[in-house]
Amino acid sequence: MAERNKHQSLIGMRLEELETYIEELGLEKFRAKQIFKWIYSKNVRDIDNLSDISKDARLKLQADPKALPIGSLNLITHQISKDGTEKFLFETKSGEKVESVLMKFEERDSVSACISSQIGCAVGCPFCATGTLGFKKNLSAAEIIEQVLFMQNISGERIDNIVYMGQGEPLSNYDNVVESIRMLRELVGIGVRHITVSTSGIVPRIDQLAKENLQINLALSLHDPTDEGRDFLVPINKKWPVLEVINSLNRYELITNRRVTIEYVMLEGVNDSFEKAKILGELVRNLHCNINLIPYNQTDVSDPFKRSPNSNIKKFKELLEKTSRNKTVTIRRERGHDINAACGQLANKHQ
């Protein structure tokens, strides 16, 4: 019964664990491999749909009062934006809401998923809907990968890129996030170079991640190049200030040989001055990085933060390219604006 007590669903079990579990239910060990294929290659969520498994065996998988379901999340809402972006709101077994977003990029023929790692977030960035919830709970590795499998099941799409950029600070849920990355690689078949973890800058965890030999991409939500500005926008900066976090990215890059990404949300009158563009350019000049400018997704008219005008973002980009000595600076294309696709917006409405 050990495996049943440790897990809430078949998703998240290692093959050996699934073998032990089904043997405890009186089934043959080889069935575990069949079930694995159904879950991870065919995105099946219902035991009745395991069609090459006999009816008797399926009954055994369901009849035991302690039998586990394939997945533990429930789908609450599924919205599709005019631009094709799909937003999913799931509910955990204990009733918390989890958001995930699926984006299709036809020009690149790829499908990306933005997934959550926590319920709420302790970092408390004032412009972020999730930050206003406070921290509620870490998601398990199984709940993290199930978001991907569930989205594939509903949309019929094969996801090839994953970003840990939904609700939560992934490096504050370090063990489950690293375990979920390994599962995405080994069970779901997603290449690690197609997985990006976005952090607000937990320096000891960035150093730890560098040594995991995962070869994933790392993004830093910098949002302001000065300690004064960043203390306000990303309060964790009071613990690990700008220079410390940039130095940790340098170490990450040295150890992993992977280029990092600097994320910068453009907020009118807050962090979008041309002076800040110059400071930012000089700050990252010696870092092997790309910079991604993110037009702010305003929640509603009462939102105290406003998005920077496009003309301003363009000028900021030009100055940044110049002062950073030709780093690649991109402006993120907005997606799912009509369905509140920014992190935390939908969950907030439902909490």
Selecting among 114, 121, 125, 343, the annotated active-site residue is 343
Of 125 and 277, which has the nearer Cβ to ligand SF4?
125
Contact 330, 293 (CB under 8 A): yes
Of 168 and 281, which has the nearer Cβ to ligand SF4?
168
Contact 179, 129 (CB under 8 A): no
Q: CB of residue 137 vs ligand SF4: minimum separation in angstroms?
A: 14
Q: Alpha carbon of 214 to those of 11, 37, 57, 202: distances in Å?
A: 22, 24, 38, 18
Of 69 and 235, which has the nearer Cβ to ligand SF4?
235
| Residue 99 appears among annotated catalytic residues | yes
Selecting among 19, 86, 99, 263, the annotated active-site residue is 99
Task: Kindly give the pairing relationship between strand 328-331 and strand 289-295.
Answer: parallel
Of 43 and 167, which has the nearer Cβ to ligand SF4?
167
Q: What is the dihedral of CA 86, 87, 90, 95, to 10 degrees?
A: -170
**Can you tell me whether residue 250 is helix, strand or coil?**
helix
| Residue 114 appears among annotated catalytic residues | no
Of 38 and 164, which has the nearer Cβ to ligand SF4?
164
Structure tokens, 330: 């991109």
Of 31 and 136, which has the nearer Cβ to ligand SF4?
136
Q: Alpha carbon of 160 to those of 108, 170, 195: distances in Å?
A: 11, 20, 9
**Can you tell me whether residue 82 is helix, strand or coil?**
coil
Of 53 and 265, which has the nearer Cβ to ligand SF4?
265
Burial environment of residue 347 by CB neighbours within 10 A (0 to 12, 13 to 18, 19 or more): buried
Q: CB of residue 56 vs ligand SF4: minimum separation in angstroms?
A: 47
Nearest Cα neighbor of 104 from 76, 77, 80, 73 is: 80
Q: CB of residue 221 vs ligand SF4: minimum separation in angstroms?
A: 6
Q: CB of residue 200 vs ligand SF4: minimum separation in angstroms?
A: 4
Question: What's the distance, CA 185 to chain centroid?
Answer: 15
Q: CB of residue 123 vs ligand SF4: minimum separation in angstroms?
A: 4
The residues that touch ligand SF4, with contacts defined as CB under 6 A, are: 121, 123-125, 128, 130-131, 167-169, 200, 221, 343
Q: Which residue is nearest to ligand SF4 (CB)?
A: 131
Nearest Cα neighbor of 165 from 147, 152, 183, 150 is: 147
Q: CB of residue 281 vs ligand SF4: minimum separation in angstroms?
A: 23
Contact 86, 199 (CB under 8 A): no
**Can you tell me whether residue 6 is helix, strand or coil?**
helix
Contact 187, 40 (CB under 8 A): yes
Nearest Cα neighbor of 10 from 47, 59, 42, 41 is: 47
CA 165 – CA 169 distance, rounded (Å): 8
Q: CB of residue 189 vs ligand SF4: minimum separation in angstroms?
A: 27
Residues annotated catalytic, as ranges: 99, 343
